[in-house]
Chain A
Amino acid sequence: MSAVTEQVRGNPALHDCRDAFTRTLEAMAAVNSDIVAVCNDSVGSSKLGGFKEKWPERLINVGIAEQNMVGVAAGLANGGKLPFVCAASCFLTGRALEQIKADIAYSNTNVKLCGISSGMAYGELGPTHHSIEDFAWIRALPNVPVIAPADSIETAAAAEWAVSHVGPIFLRLSRVGVPDLFSSDHKFELGRADLMREGADVTIIANGVLTHRAMFAADLLSQSGIAARVLNMSTVRPIDAEAIEKAARETGAIVTCEEHTIFGGLGSAVAEVVVDVHPVPMKMLGVPGIFAPTGSANFLLDEFGMSPGGIAESATRLIDKKA
């Protein structure tokens, strides 16, 4: 059993990745005076209180005005600043999508879009506050890498990488507690999947809050004698086509899990590669194209077949379809 799996087992401490994000942002802002935070009255929900206290003039709060927020960020970048736009992902990506397209992606500005409380993190607040379309919307745009870290350590590593990367990115963060999966010296590499667990019978590909669930599922499968490979695909665009092709060839079946609609998200991105290079049976788990009923994120993920048991069951059924 891998060290990673060991950490996931038992009763691991759960962390809100926003804490790692703002800790890293503040550490970087302390040494890079060009870094500014841009938000839409979201100082609290984006955990920018510490940033505001340290650098009040570098915290640019445009009020409840997402279109302006993204445009302002593009202008700040034009003026030599390094803006981190921190806002609830549902409003950032939904309300300001055209600004993201024209001012950020097409204009290729050095703006870091940080979608906070993405997926179904707002749970019971309902589908208006769920951000389960953002992979599809943003990965449809050229120039903007789409990244959904799996734990606090990867969140910090990705935020640190974002500063060194010149150009726009979309960093999709949750607030749902997740255990640490990576060792503390983990380095983020754009477009590279992390092999979390080796296996030859089936591959489970996940990211964000689903990666640790996929690890649990692989544990359950191993109890039935099934060796599941687990890939953490935090970069949805550019996708790691090489790791996907290898998984298809070596394991012959792929399950994808995402806190996102199954229309156009991680599963679709994986399938685009699979059909092109090596078609194998796939099962895409995610929100099945509906507005979710009332419930917490974890409740809804279970409901949509993404409890560890649910993922394991999908994997088992999929293996039966292998040629």
Chain B
Amino acid sequence: MYPEELAILANRIRRRDLQAVFEAGAGHIGGEMSVADILTALYFHTMSVDPENPLDPNRDRLVLSKGHTACILYVTLAEKGFIAKRDVATFLKPYSALNGHPNRVKVPGVETNTGPLGHGLPVGVGMAKAAKLDAAAWRTFVITGDGEMQEGSNWEAIMAAAQFKLDNLTLIIDHNRLQQGARLAETINMSPLSKRLEAFGWAVEEIDGHDMEQLCSALSPETVTLDRPKCIVAHTNKGSGISFMSDRVEWHHKVPDAEQYRQAARELGEASN
């Protein structure tokens, strides 16, 4: 799929996510909008996965460590064919497989249950290590939020990944500069993320996390450095694509009212045309 098509698809995924959050009356829409392009690039450009065979031992793995943005993962998995599109409408409903955080036991395509932050990268290190032990070609991708990088467990994993020379592991940090309660800069500032990761022995690339061409290039195997895990610092906007949400801390998990919903849907629709 070409970058232009990917961008259109990403906005369709945003619209479906917006609708799901609006109808469920809950969700984490800000971080879902910021990660939409990253997920789209991974599932429709980079990763080798087969919805008909979700446990293929040679599949690429994705861990959405910022598990609170589960809804947009569900929408993406539905778009890819892992789950039925109609199932997205069950998001947060009683006994739905689609609860507020992804569950590998209930949702095909989910690799590990996330929710508490700082869990995905250690699991990703284990996956990448398993592939290395088997000299297998499959790759592991982990998406974290930038606030999530405040969790110490991530830095344990960062050290191990460098020590183990896991060049089959790619960490994408959704760097939207906002955490739940405030800006990172006003909480615990994590920038400059690149220098920190480089100091820990990683190969780092900074990109515009809403630019499909840059995403596809940064995710491609050709841009991997031998023996080094890769970190993509993806500069994003929380609430990206929706003017009144963009870069606004209150939209971490606020739910749009009917008028806001209509406006947001209109903006996303126009962007896709």
Contacts and interface: CB of A to CB of B under 8 A. Distances in A.
B is a partner of A: yes
Interface of A: 36, 57-58, 60, 62-63, 65, 67-81, 83, 98-99, 102-103, 106-109
Contacts of B40: none
Contacts of A106: 103, 113
B159 A67 contact: no
B133 A68 contact: no
Contact of B126 (A57, A63, A74, A98): A74
B133 A103 contact: no
A68 B157 contact: yes
B127 A68 contact: no
B153 A68 contact: yes
B160 interface: yes
A166 to B, nearest CB: 13
Contact of A75 (B118, B129, B156, B159): B129
A72 B163 CA distance: 13
Contacts of B119: 71, 98-99, 102-103
Contact of B112 (A36, A68, A69, A74): A74
Contact of A63 (B111, B133, B134, B159): B159
23 contacts: A57-B133, A58-B133, A65-B160, A68-B122, A68-B125, A68-B156, A70-B122, A71-B125, A74-B112, A75-B123, A75-B130, A75-B140, A76-B126, A78-B112, A79-B131, A80-B57, A80-B134, A98-B119, A99-B119, A99-B153, A103-B122, A103-B123, A106-B113
Contacts of B130: 75-76, 78-81
Interface of B: 57, 61, 103-105, 111-116, 118-119, 121-131, 133-134, 140, 152-153, 156-157, 159-160, 163
Please report whether the interface of chain A is mostly helix, strand, loop or mixed according to DSSP.
helix
Contacts of A67: 118, 122, 152-153, 156
Contacts of B152: 67
Given A63-B159, A63-B160, A103-B113, A78 B133 contact: no
B123 A81 contact: no
Given A72-B129, A78-B111, A107 B105 contact: yes
Contacts of A57: 133
Nearest to A62: B160
A195 to B, nearest CB: 36
A30 B37 CA distance: 46
A75 B112 contact: yes
A81 B113 CA distance: 18
A80 B122 CA distance: 16
A151 to B, nearest CB: 33
Given A62-B160, A102-B116, A75 B122 contact: yes
A103 B104 CA distance: 10
A271 to B, nearest CB: 31
B31 to A, nearest CB: 19
A107 B126 CA distance: 14
Contact of B114 (A62, A83, A102): A102
A306 B118 CA distance: 42
Contacts of A108: 104-105
A96 B134 CA distance: 27
Contact of A107 (B104, B133, B157): B104
